[in-house]
């Protein structure tokens, strides 16, 4: 019987996890299955998918990053400008009221700038679905394109020993024969 008191060294953590306020989601590749570990509060929930049952990973890139980036920029840029203006005003007048305002504006500008940086630096956002013979589920926490592609590649390496490459339909050969003259 497997020792259930120790963590299993057979699992390899995939570079795809998502943190939220009271928990996080992580993906682990076992010898014959993919293990989804969802920690909510202090309870760890498991969900297993046998590698032999996984049929498709469907990744749909979305425009969420552009949308969030636009919102972040619309908030961050005015706040940064406001903070800079208030600091300049404080430097010119040496009035501490301007410094207080500048400090508050700088605080919110820093939050908005951090949010914007995280959104933009994290890469493209996507939805990832896992399809088996009897289910199609949206993978929680798998919302970065690079993470989803890494998951698909890791599963492919484990199941078939190579990275899946899209089999593109070859273009029809271009005819190089000279056009025949119309009779």
Q: Which is nearer to other proteins, 13 or 104 (CB)?
A: 13
Q: What string marks each residue from 140 to 169 as x (binds other proteins by CB under 8 A) or -?
A: ---------x--x--xx--xx---xxxxxx
Cβ contact 37:28 at 8 Å? yes
Cβ contact 162:25 at 8 Å? no
Q: What string marks each residue from 108 to 137 as x (binds other proteins by CB under 8 A) or -?
A: -------------------x-x-xxx--x-
Cβ contact 129:55 at 8 Å? no
Among 25, 34, 57, 76, interactor with other proteins by CB under 8 A: 57
For 41, residues 6+ apart whose C-beta sits below 8 A from its C-beta are 22, 23
Q: Across the strands, what pairs with 153?
A: none
Using CA atoms, how far apart are residues 95 and 68, in angstroms rounded to an integer? Answer: 37
Only one of the segments 41-49, 86-94, 99-107, 111-119 lies at the binding site for other proteins (rule: CB under 8 A); that segment is 41-49
**Token representation of residue 160:** 């078939």
Q: Which of 12, 20, 83 is closest to 51 using CA atoms?
A: 12
Q: Which is nearer to other proteins, 54 or 116 (CB)?
A: 54
Contact between 42 and other proteins by CB under 8 A: the answer reads yes
Using CA atoms, how far apart are residues 47 and 66, in angstroms rounded to an integer? Answer: 32
Q: Across the strands, what pairs with 18?
A: 25
For the CB of residue 28, give the shortest distance to other proteins in the complex, in Å: 5
Among 14, 16, 25, 26, interactor with other proteins by CB under 8 A: 26
Q: Which residues bind other proteins (CB under 8 A)?
A: 1-2, 4-8, 11, 13, 26, 28, 33, 35, 37, 39, 41-48, 51-61, 127, 129, 131-133, 136, 149, 152, 155-156, 159-160, 164-169
């Amino acid at each position: 019987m497997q020792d259930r008191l120790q963590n299993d060294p057979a699992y390899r953590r995939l570079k795809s996890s998502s943190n939220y306020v009271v928990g996080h989601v992580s993906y682990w590749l076992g010898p014959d299955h993919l293990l989804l570990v969802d920690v909510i509060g202090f309870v760890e929930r498991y969900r297993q998918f046998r590698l032999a049952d996984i049929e498709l990973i469907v990744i749909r890139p979305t425009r969420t990053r552009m949308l969030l980036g636009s919102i972040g920029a619309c908030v961050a840029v005015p706040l940064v400008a406001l903070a800079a203006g208030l600091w300049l005003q404080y430097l010119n007048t040496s009035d501490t009221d301007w410094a207080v305002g500048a400090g508050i504006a700088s605080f919110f500008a820093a939050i908005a700038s951090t949010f914007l940086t995280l959104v933009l630096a994290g890469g493209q956002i996507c939805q990832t679905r896992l399809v088996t013979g009897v289910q199609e589920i949206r993978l929680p926490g798998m919302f970065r394109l690079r993470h989803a592609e890494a998951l698909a590649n890791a599963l492919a390496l484990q199941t078939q020993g190579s990275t899946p490459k899209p089999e593109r339909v070859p273009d029809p050969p271009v005819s190089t024969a000279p056009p025949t003259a119309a009779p």
